[in-house]
Structure 1
Amino acid sequence: MIVVSLGGDAHRAVLLGRARVGTPEDAAAWLRGEALRLAVRLDPGPRTRWAAPGLVHPVRGPGPDAPTAMRAWAECPEQVRGVRALLAQGHPYTRRFQDPGGSWYELTAAPAENAGDPMNQPSPDVPRCEATGQVTQIVAELAMDVTRTAGAQPRSRIRCALAPHLTYEHQGIVRELSGGGGHVWGTFGAAVPVWRVRVAPPCPHWAGAAPCGLYDDHPGACVPARTSEPA
């Protein structure tokens, strides 16, 4: 089974978590744990260990409250049993929690054959992060020196090769390598030039709906490479 958590608004959706689990019981447990994880990060409770006593206290505002709804859903045994039963019958399950301003958080579980698994299906229409970064002279020299593989000259400016993501780090291709050698990838931030480079293969063609596993600390989902535009 595939289990997924998403967050978004009227303009875009962002992958927050994704896993493959074995049984409906595992899927329901993952969704419950993910709901509590997101709720705590969005709205820490008064007993949060990192906060001094009295620093965090309940405040009730108008409109929907996604963290409270996620806590209530996760702590309701009947809800969790219902999810397990639905999944055991081979049906998918989706639950969306609305927040003020049109933002939302969504939990989904489905049998792998019905989940639109991005591990097996290309996603050619994934939106792309619009961030761009500058490649300084010292970084360009580093991109030349970091590998002995022949390739193109470093670019002076790169575009993020990820789908829209929540982290402050962006990834782009500083230098194309020859003969299947991959790319020299660069890490940059908002108004911050490329500060790190590494050699890695191109993102897999199926990427776009989940972190592609290019390397361990990859910050987001890749967009499939298109030869008609620079990465």
Structure 2
Amino acid sequence: MAVRWLREEAIRTAGLVDPEPDAKWLRGGRAVLVSPTPGSPDVPQVLRDWADDEALQGAAMAVLAKREFFHFYTSDGQTGYSLSAMPLPVGFAGDWAAEIGAPSTA
């Protein structure tokens, strides 16, 4: 679930940084095309590429499955964009399941 959320956040962030010209939230507003810093990556495209790459998402899942911190970072030379997730123990889940009568997974 965490990687799915990170994927959606990557897409959402890319859309905020580089919106479609007909984006509803731009209606009536002013959008100004800004050239990227020479030599810097196209951050919205980097985020979209990560969101479309199943191998990179699989690597993120592998990191999280080992109970390790996952961090993806990109920058355009002026602003950094970060996606991160960390597994947290949820000891309450077993108690909650028992309380509602869910079958035990133990």
Indicate yes or no: 2:54 matched with 1:77.
yes
Equivalent residue number for residue 99 of structure 2: none
After superposition, residues 15-164 of structure 1 pair within 5 angstroms as 26-45=1-20, 48-50=22-24, 61=36, 62=38, 63-101=40-78, 103-112=79-88
* Distance in 2 between residues matched to 1:45 and 1:60, nearest whole Å: 16
Taking every aligned residue pair, what percent have the same amino acid on both sides? Answer: 33
Question: Larger % of strand: which?
Answer: 1
- Separation of aligned partners in 1, 2:41 and 2:9: 19
Considering Cα pairs closer than 8 Å and 6+ residues apart, tell me whether 1 or 2 has the greater RCO: 2
Alignment of 1:179-218 (within 5 A): none
**Amino acid across the alignment from 2:84:** T
Deviations 1:19-45 (A, max 9, x none): xxxxxxx00000000011010011013
Higher helix share: 2
Q: Is the 8 A contact 1:94 1:109 kept in 2?
A: yes
Shift of 1:88: 1.2
What secondary structure, in the 3-state scheme, does the structure 2 residue paired with 1:28 have? Answer: helix
Aligned residues: 82
Distance (Å, rounded) in 2 between the aligned partners of 1:45 and 1:59: 14
Instruction: Report if the CA contact (8 A) 1:66-1:99 is conserved.
Output: yes
Q: Is the 8 A contact 1:65 1:100 kept in 2?
A: no
Structure 1: 5+ residue stretches without partners: 1-25, 114-231
> 1:80, CA displacement in angstroms?
1.0
In our comparison, the structure showing a higher alpha carbon Rg is 1
Q: Taking structure 1 as reference, are residues 79 and 60 closer, same or farther at Cα in structure 2, changes over 3 Å only?
A: farther
Q: Which residue of 1 aligns with 2:95?
A: none
TM-score, L = length of structure 2: 0.65
Divergent runs of 4+, >3 A: 48-52, 58-61
**Cα root mean square deviation, aligned:** 2.4
